Structure 1
Amino acid sequence: MVEGGATTADRTEFTECWRTVWKTPYIMRLALSAGIGGLLFGYDTGVISGALLYIRDDFEDVDKKTWLQETIVSMAVAGAIIGAAFGGYMNDRWGRRVAILAADIVFFFGAIVMAVAPNPWVIIIGRILVGLGVGMASMTAPLYISEASPARIRGALVSTNGLMITGGQFLSYLINLAFTRAPGTWRWMLGVAGIPAVVQFVLMLSLPESPRWLYRKDRVDEARAILEKIYPAHEVEDELNALKLSVDAEKADEAIIGEGMIAKVKGALKNRVVRRGLYAGITVQVAQQFVGINTVMYYAPTIVQFAGFASNSVALALSLITSGLNAVGSIVSMCFVDRYGRRRLMLVSMTGIIFFLVILSVVFMEASSHAPKIGGVESAHFGSNSTCSAYLTAPDAPRWSCMTCLKADCAFCANAASEVSPSAIHCIITFSVFMLSNWY
């Protein structure tokens, strides 16, 4: 998402990658088939942002209760946490390929449950199922790609998984926009998510297990057969020997520190170098989440509406810029991270994030301070000079929501010439949201 990351590679490695996959298309078939897991991750992140607009229209409880909206959005993340933990166990016990297949099944049924949901609570159940699938696939896909790729182009192929995530987000916004006028709107948006899962399931049925996992389970002949499809004939034995050394070293470490997740973590923390690297990595991942990029991606159309664009379709169209810049940022990082270094790129990125978060905070505070109050007390007190004359004549004013206020044509939340056009300050808000997504 927004959540997760990818191994990076320089331009030389990408050139070598292109040459290798051109000679051996089977390698790209492995990488792209597994990379659909990243696409599922990205699609689930982005699709709910647009679907939520129409879910609110269909269910009054969702429109009025922000905690219900938050539950619908966040349950996928909760499911992903469980899915990632269980996926680790599945990877070790039954293999990477089985874990991806299982994730596809869970994700597909989750998408169907959401598409046919008769009430918000069934949507939440579907979101949990989708989250389980996303959690399993998001940690298994890069693992499978790395273990089924030649070492010299491994970084380049794993990098494509990160691009698939941001590409999936962009695709979800496109599909959301395509279904804005279709009967069922949000049901189609959420249901279409099952298609990539079916495609990946079919493709993975014809692909092999990870050679490293097979060797780890003493299925050496099967591992050799797969390596023969990936490497030139004269490199197979060398790769098999390297695999043997790696697995033997892993088993030796397990004999010392013990098997199981807890034992491995304790062993890693005892190593000073590993411990410092682990702390740095965790800090970066936590900071990445706390900058608020997930909020931007999950609620981009809603934020755009709060910025004054009251139309659902206009908000979705403008949100394409957010997801598009996010995808472009992934490509930029892949191209320049080895030229300028991880640290420099991260410092530049964090500086941009801080700058635009400050702008967002200031303009939202200004909008809140200067916006005319809309409420029973204020309107009754001012009478004909009410800050919102439309509120006085509305038969159902106590039931107004934020979107109703935006459409009230009070000359601040919306432009006097058009109820779905923003005022100047809201253009600044929208610009800041877009730039935040780019700097992330």
Structure 2
Amino acid sequence: MEGGVHEVDASAFRECFSLAWRNPYVLRLAFSAGIGGLLFGYDTGVISGALLYIRDDFPSVDKKTWLQESIVSTAVAGAIIGAAIGGWVNDRFGRKTSILVADFLFFVGAVIMASAPNPTLLIVGRVFVGLGVGMASMTSPLYISEASPARIRGALVSTNGFLITGGQFLSYLINLAFTKAPGTWRWMLGVAALPALTQFILMLFLPESPRWLYRKRREEEAEAILRKIYPANEVEGEIQALKESVEAEIREEGSSEKINLIKLLKTKTVRRGLVAGVGLQVFQQFVGINTVMYYSPTIVQLAGFASNQTALALSLVTSGLNALGSIVSIYFIDRTGRKKLLIISLCGVVLSLGVLSAVFHETTSHSPGISRQETAHFAAYSCPAYQSASATGWDCMKCLKASSPDCGFCAAAADKLYPGACLISNSTVKDLCHGENRLWDGDCAMDCEL
């Protein structure tokens, strides 16, 4: 019942489908716990689309990028805390209790966000959701690993990873579905309460992890669960194996011999394994995938697709490929090997980042210019910073960076790529610009594209 490395191949997945008919109880355990992975993916992905409409409802969020960043990043900060305390909660109170606590945090966070009257409470709700994400990210795969038969354990644990990326894809679909609904972002964020409530109810009727029960000397309860998981001809062997494993673990914990970390780090195989394992986790974050997932619709708007609905629809491509990648990796990991699959993936990451960098550079270096004549057309609302400047080298991007007061770009009436006007950024000027059938950009660079 160890939760270490488990091989995943096609036979394991075929065994899963076979087991669904022979013993659906195992799949009930695995997929009930796997809802935690789905919530993890949903709550990390849903903010990307909701943010577009939050900016529309709260002018302060629209004007202050640090508020947008806070709304997004506080969930990550909460996840760090949730993961840190999750290990202690798992060992002290059990895997089942940890999942129930995570569901409670997910539910409370979703309700707070859906009803938030201001950005402050929205951030508080994101913190609650982040705490749930942190606990679920470590508890769900642990519970699945300890409550599933050894021969299909790897396949079932792998489904948790797929549910995370699947949850992100689902969040984009939900975002797109609620674009026409009253309240838009409140529905997008609040709907996460439903799977959290569903998992909470399901877990109330499911048992604790048999391994944790053995650790707490509740052998009879653990054995009763194992008899439901394993066939009659295998259960006695599994009970004995679990008993020996737990006893060996307890002996090691009580041993007076301390682990010499310096000596371990001097061991070449240990050091290389540590660098590879930790390094991959670090670089997986440093490549910027979270930025793309959290701000995908905003990035699409930077490319010139001003419509929120269009931006969300195009962002489905990103989340869909992300989910597809998890399926492809599960299929090929034992056919091509870990190293080759990793190198291929990294080549794709480098190519994608290169393309993104080139596009952003071209966008900022070829922005429409600022015209004195166009700006004079709105003389009463011209940007003070532009009026006091020498007026040489000003373009859309430079206008948007002006402050005290903030300024916005009103595109030329003939063509949005022609030089436009640099004006004070407020709702009155925005309406005035739109009234002449011009494009207005007062925050991001959606109108400053090639």
- TM, length-normalised to structure 1: 0.85
How many Å separate the matches in 2 of 1:138 and 1:405? 46
Q: What residue is the counterpart of 1:190 in the other structure?
A: 189
In structure 2, the CA distance between the partners of 1:208 and 1:147, relative to structure 1 (3 Å rule), is same
The residue identity in structure 2 corresponding to 1:359 is V
Q: What residue is the counterpart of 1:240 in the other structure?
A: 239
Q: What residue is the counterpart of 2:431 in the other structure?
A: none
Are the counterparts in 2 of residues 47 and 190 from structure 1 also a CA contact under 8 Å? yes
State the identity as a percent. Answer: 63
Q: What residue is the counterpart of 1:324 in the other structure?
A: 320
In structure 2, the CA distance between the partners of 1:127 and 1:257, relative to structure 1 (3 Å rule), is farther
Are the counterparts in 1 of residues 304 and 447 from structure 2 also a CA contact under 8 Å? no
Q: What residue is the counterpart of 1:150 in the other structure?
A: 149
Q: What residue is the counterpart of 2:58 in the other structure?
A: 59
Q: What residue is the counterpart of 1:217 in the other structure?
A: 216
Tell me which moved more, 246-255 or 181-190: 246-255
Q: What residue is the counterpart of 2:374 in the other structure?
A: none
Superposed CA offset, 1:12-39 (max 9, x none): 2111222123210001100100000000
How many Å separate the matches in 1 of 2:111 and 2:412? 33
1:283 to 279, 282, 289: 279
Determine if the alignment matches structure 1 residue 346 to structure 2 residue 342: yes
Q: In structure 2, list runs of 5 or more residues that go unmatched.
A: 371-382, 421-436
The residue identity in structure 2 corresponding to 1:240 is I
Q: Residue 253 of structure 1: SS of its match in structure 2? A: helix
How many Å separate the matches in 2 of 1:163 and 1:236? 29
- Match runs of 1:29-428 below 5 Å: 29-256=28-255, 273-374=269-370, 399-400=406-407, 410-411=416-417
Are the counterparts in 2 of residues 43 and 168 from structure 1 also a CA contact under 8 Å? yes
Shift of 1:279: 2.6
In structure 2, the CA distance between the partners of 1:65 and 1:418, relative to structure 1 (3 Å rule), is closer
How many Å separate the matches in 2 of 1:137 and 1:180? 29
Are the counterparts in 1 of residues 367 and 449 from structure 2 also a CA contact under 8 Å? no
The residue identity in structure 2 corresponding to 1:346 is L
The residue identity in structure 1 corresponding to 2:368 is P
How many Å separate the matches in 2 of 1:355 and 1:142? 32
Q: Residue 239 of structure 2: SS of its match in structure 1? A: helix
Q: Residue 255 of structure 2: SS of its match in structure 1? A: helix
Are the counterparts in 2 of residues 77 and 131 from structure 1 also a CA contact under 8 Å? yes
Q: What residue is the counterpart of 2:379 in the other structure?
A: none
Are the counterparts in 2 of residues 254 and 264 from structure 1 also a CA contact under 8 Å? no
How many Å separate the matches in 2 of 1:342 and 1:50? 34
The residue identity in structure 2 corresponding to 1:98 is T
Are the counterparts in 2 of residues 7 and 159 from structure 1 also a CA contact under 8 Å? no
Are the counterparts in 1 of residues 306 and 446 from structure 2 also a CA contact under 8 Å? no
In structure 2, the CA distance between the partners of 1:201 and 1:252, relative to structure 1 (3 Å rule), is same
Superposed CA offset, 1:185-224 (max 9, x none): 1111111111110000011011000000001111111000
How many Å separate the matches in 2 of 1:178 and 1:144? 33
Shift of 1:411: 2.2
Q: What residue is the counterpart of 1:431 in the other structure?
A: none
How many Å separate the matches in 1 of 2:210 and 2:349? 41
Tell me which moved more, 373-382 or 302-311: 373-382
Shift of 1:366: 1.4
Superposed CA offset, 1:292-341 (max 9, x none): 00000000000000111011111011111111111111110011111000
In terms of fraction of residues, the more helix-rich structure is 1
Are the counterparts in 1 of residues 367 and 448 from structure 2 also a CA contact under 8 Å? no
Q: What residue is the counterpart of 2:17 in the other structure?
A: 18
Shift of 1:399: 4.8
Q: Residue 179 of structure 2: SS of its match in structure 1? A: coil
Q: Residue 183 of structure 1: SS of its match in structure 2? A: coil
Greater length-normalized contact order (CA 8 Å, ≥ 6 residues apart): 1
How many Å separate the matches in 1 of 2:412 and 2:129? 33
The residue identity in structure 2 corresponding to 1:177 is L
In structure 2, the CA distance between the partners of 1:212 and 1:270, relative to structure 1 (3 Å rule), is farther
How many Å separate the matches in 2 of 1:382 and 1:214? 75
The residue identity in structure 1 corresponding to 2:350 is I
Q: What residue is the counterpart of 1:430 in the other structure?
A: none
Are the counterparts in 2 of residues 405 and 413 from structure 1 also a CA contact under 8 Å? yes
Superposed CA offset, 1:78-125 (max 9, x none): 000100111110100010000000110111001100111111011000
Are the counterparts in 2 of residues 84 and 135 from structure 1 also a CA contact under 8 Å? yes
Superposed CA offset, 1:372-424 (max 9, x none): 245665578899xx967xx9xxxxx965558x77999522799xx9969x999
In structure 2, the CA distance between the partners of 1:363 and 1:249, relative to structure 1 (3 Å rule), is same
The root-mean-square deviation of aligned C-alpha atoms, in Å, is: 3.2
How many Å separate the matches in 2 of 1:317 and 1:419? 21
Q: What residue is the counterpart of 2:373 in the other structure?
A: none
Q: Residue 117 of structure 2: SS of its match in structure 1? A: coil
Q: In structure 1, list runs of 5 or more residues that go unmatched.
A: 1-5, 392-396, 428-440
Are the counterparts in 1 of residues 302 and 447 from structure 2 also a CA contact under 8 Å? no
Are the counterparts in 2 of residues 55 and 186 from structure 1 also a CA contact under 8 Å? yes
In structure 2, the CA distance between the partners of 1:419 and 1:330, relative to structure 1 (3 Å rule), is farther
